[in-house]
Chain A
Amino acid sequence: NAGVTQTPKFRVLKTGQSMTLLCAQDMNHEYMYWYRQDPGMGLRLIHYSVGEGTTAKGEVPDGYNVSRLKKQNFLLGLESAAPSQTSVYFCASSYGTFQAHYGYTFGSGTRLTVV
């Protein structure tokens, strides 16, 4: 049982390049999330999805796009990377409303550096 798997684990991009981060979960969770973690700022929600085919904006969505074509996958895209997007990105998933006590299951993160 893999839980939440993120690929890649590390990436260095040049300013203006694009890339897609992949998140896959095998727990049949309805909800999926993308967060970024920056020193002293905790986790900030970028985008989230409450089910297959749905996406919504979080606190810091600018410069990112997402897609949830399959229930188990949640993709985060950077169309034109900027140095301000240097961060550690975490994907998470959860059952949803009525099983909130299970909390979120997190992936191990993607460390992205934009130069």
Chain B
Amino acid sequence: GEDVEQSLFLSVREGDSSVINCTYTDSSSTYLYWYKQEPGAGLQLLTYIFSNMDMKQDQRLTVLLNKKDKHLSLRIADTQTGDSAIYFCAENVNDYKLSFGAGTTVTVRA
């Protein structure tokens, strides 16, 4: 199957950490990705994790991968107003195709 699921909305206070969760179904996925979409713009690759890794850290971003549960999460430390966007989880289902979740709208409040 090619179902990627994520919650639709997240509200977080400025300065707090945000955690966005995602579940996927294809255990053979090699890479899993997080994309960010700002209003009126296309999707931008934020980070990715290779399937043999459990964790990847990149400045304020931490990606955790639990292959047993097929669970992926993105943690944003010290969330800022510029982090308000839609975040998409994606898995590569085969050599050429990515399957995307519906996107989580993150709203950062002062």
- Say whether A associates with B: yes
Instruction: Find residues 93-115 in chain A having any chain B CB closer than 8 Å to their own CB.
Output: 94, 96-97, 100-109
Please state if A45 and B42 are interface contacts (CB–CB under 8 Å).
Answer: no
Q: How far is the CB of B39 from chain A (nearest CB, A)?
A: 11
* Chain B residue nearest in CB terms to A41: B102
Contact B88 A42, beta carbon cutoff 8 Å:
yes
Q: Judging by beta carbons under 8 Å apart, are A108 and B41 in contact?
A: yes
Known: A42-B88, A90-B43, A103-B48. A48 touches B102 (CB 8 A): no
Q: Which chain A residues border B45 with CB–CB below 8 Å?
A: 102-105
Complex interface: chain B residues within 8 A of A100 (CB):
30-31, 92, 95
Q: Write out the residue numbers on chain A whose beta carbons fall within 8 Å of the beta carbon of B60.
A: none
Of A4, A103, A105, A109, the most chain B CB neighbours within 10 A belong to: A103
A43 interface contact, C-beta 8 A: yes
B residues within 8 A CB of A108? Answer: 40-42
Query: Roughly how many angstroms separate A25 CA and B88 CA in the complex, as a whole number?
Result: 22
CB-CB under 8 A for A97 and B95, given A106-B42, A108-B42: yes
Closest to A56 in B: B96
Q: Which of A52-98 contact B (CB under 8 A)?
A: 58, 90, 92, 94, 96-97
**A42 CB contact (under 8 Å) in B41, B42, B50, B100:** B100
**5 A-B contact pairs sorted by A residue (CB < 8 Å):** A40-B8, A42-B100, A58-B97, A94-B96, A101-B50
